[in-house]
Amino acid sequence: MAIRLPSDLSAKHILRLSNLFASYALDVPKGYFAVYVGEGEKKRFVIPVSYLNHPSFQELLSTSEKEFGFCHPMGCLTIPCTEDIFLNITSGLNRL
């Protein structure tokens, strides 16, 4: 079951709210953003902005919001799941 974001929360709005481009924007290409993934030690991934609209990725965002709100401990978007789960979801998005 996918969780839909309210229609007034566009992908651009999410990026502005979470301050994703604060201190590390120089090494993130246009059209991409960085996230930290992991339950213990976090690993940084740079992924396409287009993922924000996919229901599977929105489910990850919802989990992140429930755990951290919009105040992420790493200073950017942190997704509290294992690397394996994240890679399984995002590899499926690459095929679309």
Q: What pLDDT, in 10s, does the model give residues 60-87?
A: 888 888 887 766 666 678 888 899 999 9
8 is a domain residue: no
Phi, psi of 89 (to 5 degrees): -70, -50
Q: What does the pLDDT read at residue 10?
A: 58
Tell me the residue range of the domain where 42 lies.
13-22+29-94
Three-class SS of residue 32? strand
Chain segment 13-50, per-residue pLDDT in tens: 555 555 444 444 558 899 998 888 988 888 999 999 99
Residue 7 included in any domain: no
**Domains in the chain, number:** 1
In 1-96, where does DSSP find H-type helix?
11-17, 55-68, 83-94
What does the alpha-carbon distance between residue 52 and residue 38 come to, in Å, rounded to a whole number?
A: 19
- Token reading at 76: 């950017």
